[in-house]
Structure 1
């Protein structure tokens, strides 16, 4: 019979998640449990599949005299977790073991505008299935899944009904994503979880900046959510002078190119064509294109103003520009830094580019999925995934 919550087995399993290989003595010192209790719990957790017993310490070369100590380790392959970045125009899925080590991945692209609910659910389901196939893992081995979406999400996984975009982004994923537990979370919040290890104790914002600005906010070590999951939503930018909308760096860069072409400012032979994306704009600016340089100037001003809003409201130390736009937008970030130094707003946050690239949301989704399992592992019956 599997152990119940609050038992010594749960205490020991929490320890096993936190360390690598361990002996009974090390577990006793860490948990305060007796030797007989630890050994009994280890045997039970090995039996039901959460731990596996390793070669003893002598065989491992770590023990030389006396009775060799038995060694145990979390069975990271006892099940898997799935993380999904279900964006409007791009879907990415990762499969990982219970340590968060990636095992497989896949990408999908919704057709059309990305707003059709049936198409969206189909692409998410197919992308997750492809990631599981890439990992060589059956769907029934998935313990927990986390789906990141570009919409506010409350603690229960629901988004405020807006009759439009948010409803389409969060139509319900439980029937198309496998797992004993399927969690829906805001994409910027997941980006913040992914960035947290590199930000240490800093209060910071992970700012997704491609199509629309959206921020995951960590203040005094706590991820802010808000009553309806709307903490970090950037609709307030409609009212900010010099910004005027929550549209992100990528979207505004494309619009600025089209406006320059229409005004006749783009010279023949320029890289700035009607289908130029933000990366092309930034590359042209690096080559000295005057129109591209002006766009970078405008985007740097826009980013700096957004950072002032975040820092003024939350007293954060850092803004991490995250997502696929982060690496190409180095010149924009540099310009925003220069403007903040000139404006002398206090506090002035540090602005950095994320090193996680386009996968930042799905990396955060995997980390959150591992945390979901780790928070109550004995609630996940392993006999269903064997």
Structure 2
């Protein structure tokens, strides 16, 4: 056999193995016949590939008699499943004020999770990396696992991230958020923008060809799915909301044009408003420095005038954003994600009432995410699983690691 033939045979074997592994990753237990129907491979090829994947540590053959619980006539079908110990993935939402980590198996089942608050500016970049390593280690230990069990870790950061995992060097805050996790964590690590990961999580819940996921808590970013593809840009800047600076000409209200998220804006507007607002507001009953976004939303639900005014301002802001995204990218659905999504219905309701009805174009649907504060970390897990499904041969199963 010459080198060209050998290389072709090896490539074909890899293609067949990946096709069968992708099938195994979405099935519980399967027979050779079921794998043949899904992949289009012959029986001999399927059995040969399965034997190779068993030897490599990806699959295990299931005892048909005991596991099936029934007696079959003739030769029993050979049945396989993904090995439970093949490895796990880790998702980390590395936010500015908190870290959330989830460990999941290759079917996406959560095996452990932890959340911890932090002060990134006090910790610095090295401290953030150390905290990530510590929190991931603790979460793995909770599940009886170690770092050697991890096939891939995906980390979401509040910064634009290019294809190489880097953020623009001119952004001091971005450099702090994307502080070199891959150099400090064991195994393969992928860093991505947090809003992009939130969009991936939403897409897994409800497939949509044109949707914008707005991650809006302390900061504001968008994950944009257009024609079924996630937009990134050469520097990872797609979805950065700097265009909001054009929404106001009033320099006395600089926060109106900033990229602060709805949570930060509600808090800021309430703290400044209690001193200038004319009339009674229950928000004055709370010490100014302790007012949180949740207090503002609760006050608005109870009919507080200042709370309702802030909701109206946020709704007007969201309506403008929705019109821009719809006009530029033909976005059909806008999803508000992040911890604030649990309380954002009044903002959505007001924004819907402000959307223009005479444009001749369909209006985007405005909805709240059901994932709450877990959107980014769930997107990180989904992104890790998607990468493994796309190219499983690029990962080494736990049994073969030694």
Common fold: TM-score over 0.5: yes
Structure 1 residue matching 2:223: 3-state secondary structure: strand
- Which residue is 1:293 aligned to? 308
Normalising by structure 2, what TM-score?
0.89
Matched, 1:72 2:85: no
Distance 1:244 1:163, change over 3 A: closer
How many equivalent pairs are there? 383
Shift of 1:5: 5.5
- Which residue is 1:327 aligned to? 342
- Which residue is 1:370 aligned to? 385
- Equivalent-residue separation in structure 2 for 1:153 and 1:292 (angstroms): 36
Normalising by structure 1, what TM-score?
0.93
Matched, 1:147 2:155: yes
- Which residue is 2:352 aligned to? 337
- Equivalent-residue separation in structure 2 for 1:26 and 1:57 (angstroms): 18
- Which residue is 1:95 aligned to? 103
- Equivalent-residue separation in structure 2 for 1:219 and 1:269 (angstroms): 43
Shift of 1:59: 5.2
Alignment of 1:18-97 (within 5 A): 18-56=26-64, 60-61=68-69, 64-97=72-105
- Which residue is 1:14 aligned to? 22
- Which residue is 1:260 aligned to? 273
- Which residue is 2:253 aligned to? none
- Equivalent-residue separation in structure 2 for 1:5 and 1:85 (angstroms): 37
Distance 1:296 1:167, change over 3 A: same
- Equivalent-residue separation in structure 1 for 2:122 and 2:389 (angstroms): 33
- Which residue is 1:248 aligned to? 261
Structure 1 residue matching 2:258: 3-state secondary structure: coil
Matched, 1:184 2:191: yes
Alignment of 1:65-214 (within 5 A): 65-111=73-119, 113=121, 116-179=124-187, 181-214=188-221
Any idea what the Cα deviations from partners look like across 1:158-183, whole Å, max 9, x if unmatched? Answer: 1111141111111211133332x210
Q: Provide the alpha-carbon RMSD of the alignment.
A: 2.2
Shift of 1:269: 5.5
- Which residue is 1:221 aligned to? 228
Distance 1:324 1:187, change over 3 A: same
Shift of 1:261: 2.1
Distance 1:385 1:162, change over 3 A: same
Structure 2 residue matching 1:77: 3-state secondary structure: helix
Distance 1:279 1:381, change over 3 A: same
Shift of 1:11: 2.7
**Given that residues 88 and 104 in structure 2 are in contact (C-alpha distance below 8 angstroms), is that contact kept between their aligned partners in structure 1?**
yes
**Given that residues 317 and 349 in structure 1 are in contact (C-alpha distance below 8 angstroms), is that contact kept between their aligned partners in structure 2?**
yes
- Equivalent-residue separation in structure 2 for 1:208 and 1:185 (angstroms): 14
Structure 2, gaps ≥5 residues long: 1-8, 250-255
Shift of 1:267: 4.1
- Larger helix proportion of the pair: 2
Distance 1:15 1:66, change over 3 A: same
